[in-house]
Structure 1
Amino acid sequence: MQIDNNQLLRFTTAGSVDDGKSTLIGRLLYDSKSIFEDQLQAIEETSKKKGHDGVDLALFTDGLRDEREQGITIDVAYRYFTTPKRKFIIADTPGHIQYTRNMVTGASTANVALVLIDARHGVIEQTKRHSFIASLLQIPHLIVCINKMDLVDYSEDVYNDIINQFEEFSSKLLVKDVRFLPISALNGDNVVNPSKNMDWFQGAPLLHTLETMHISSDINKTDARFAVQTVLRPQRKGFIDYRGYAGRVSSGIFRPNDEVTILPSGFTSKIKTIDTFDGELKEAFAPMSISITLEDDIDISRGDMIVKTHNKPESKQEFDAMLCWLNNSPARDRAKYTIMHTTNEQKAMIKEVLYKIDVNSYNRIKEDKQLNMNDISRVTIRTTRPLMIDEYRDNRITGSFVLIDDATHETVASGMIL
């Protein structure tokens, strides 16, 4: 199978505290030679000061001073690296229960979630919590990395027992592709190079799995959605009458001569040209940033959506969503918030909290309707004007939104439309 060398894969790491997430990322970067010399030198010096014999690989991602002092990850750390086969963005997310919101933030755009399990402890509540969030966010691929295999003598029986534990509860999850991998991040077993200590494992190491994983079909190519960010009117020589609608393709494919409808107005037209800085295109697809010109002169502004005439999103003013509350302050009853959905911005309120979810047991809590930080709940949202929405499971861009507190301008919640 041929891999597009420019293809970008985003993955997130999740697991309990001290499961070795930061060490795993450090090992990935170190063994794939993706670290600049000055970074390596600085980390070697810090490792010596801390009294380590070798390089403390976790320091590659634990950037905040508090994290380095406590030896834990408390913020989402993003790292970029490239191999000859693919580009990667890693979101290293925290393991503590109180940082669930950080995991939701880091995982929201990921193609792959790496869930780490300590081989000595097996599946614990945090494993279930992180796997549930990965499922809730519809991350298409899950790689369960059973780490610290060196501390259980690289036992195949321990590995198989943890797979059984995981499969027992994961049958309830909505993840299409789950893979298992025995690793030792500290010693580098099955991270970049195959493990000599686990010759019973026939699969590929983690980096090879990430490099060859098929992610092209993860993007929705059926439902063509283009949210207009701005209108381009250069009004200079050669572009006197140019009127282009600029933005990023959320999903689907657009081509010149396609018949399109502009929402919410409902006017129809045909695509005249699809332009980029480098010239015209014969087709555009997610996540390309483009400018579309139309055959007809239609009043279109930021927040409008261009879609194929025979495939439209729903226009709704009231809808249900799974909401993750991100703010320290609890939700206020029937308070007004600003909802940001694609490029559309308007007022909204949480009309009703239907139930909260215990993400450790997956049980619904119907008695407690108070939304506090890190709570995940099913709610009914009402907006001042209709939004053009898809279900989150069909389209992660047009099916998601954030709520902003008008008084503090803080992002208080992220939501997935049902």
Structure 2
Amino acid sequence: MTFEKAVESFEQAKKIWNTTEATDLLAQAKQSIANRKHRLAVIDFAISGDVNMRDAGVSVAGLLQADAMLASRFEIIERRQLQKMLEEIKLQMSDLVGDNEKAAEFGRIKGVPYILTGQVIKLGKLSVTAYILEVQSGRQIAQAKVSADDVHSLEAKLPDLSRILCMTPEELKEYENGRAREEAGKAQQPGKPFIEDLGGGVNLEMVWIPAGSFEMGSPNSEAGRHYDEGPVHTVSLDGFWMGKYEVTQEQYKAVMGTNPSHFKGAKNPVEKVSWDDAMAFCKKLSSKTGKNFTLPSEAQWEYACRAGSKGRFCFGDSDSGLKEYAWYDVNSGPQTHPVGQKKPNKWGLYDMHGNVWEWCLDGYDERFYEKQAARKRNPVNNNQGDYRVLRGGSWDYMSRGCRSAFRNRFVPDDRSYGHGFRVVSFSP
């Protein structure tokens, strides 16, 4: 009798016994089934396009075979064991590549219920399509695709491919809905503004940031890099509205009734505000306007700062160009300056580099980028801990800290001369 049949029989017996002990035993049996890993064979991927990519099918299969996400769900058959199983029925790996019927036949003979394989295509861009074949039915029960400009970028995206393959139906639906929102968000052009009237002639300008995906963090080769900026990983975000400028002193006073800043100036960014103060501002602003305002997540902030760029700064890699975009220790005075006096990035955001540090929603975790939570759509580190994240550099900081990927942190009640913020919203 199979374990599943035993559970079914036990279910019938429970109706007769109807005891707490029987119910508990049944729950344990069902949980055991749910937790049991099914065997999975990873077959070399078929190749199409550039003949120089002949080894890519083997490489992709090897990388997926070692993937931690797949290993958490399946019992992955080791490559050496898989070769031995094939030899036992007088087959070679090449016999199964691109032939689902033969792969399913292998699975049935050797008692392997699931096969993972797919195709690598090189037509301009590199793309990998992977799917999991259910041997018993011959159906593809999961499929995912990723694309990249080169082999290095493609390798970095394979964990995303594994994540999609391992999604439950509910998770996949949420993911697909997110993709639909992303496509809808692209219909609005970056930089499209809306203006919120705060009263007394004070306005808050917001800029549309379109949905999309980007590579978050910095590579090991980046000058000035800190270890907590890696590994580089792909992040996908829904569209949102972001403050065109850092929150100014007149805006803060219009909402909160006070101005705590050390460097006074109506158009200067508000500073000497803690993370708690910034969140209180967002809450009161939301109540005042009937819209939902909050601090940007760390991922939203870096995505908006980069505005499609991939270098150290939104404009490139050289420190020499930073003076045109930022107030920092070289040119600040030393003090803050009115917002919007330097060049904006390509999405129309000012002072993303320098002037004041900007509080983000996330708690700080130096190893957060290594975790699966960092790769979810719209990621936020809600495990607050002792510190909150700040981004962007400030008037008193060196160029290294103004980089797009640089991560700073302070306790949430700290009120420094260099700490300010900007807001985001999801409803214009």
The answer to whether TM tops 0.5 is no
TM-score computed with the length of structure 2 as normaliser: 0.25
Larger Rg: 2
TM normalised by structure 1 equals 0.25
Quick check: which one's strand share is greater?
A: 1
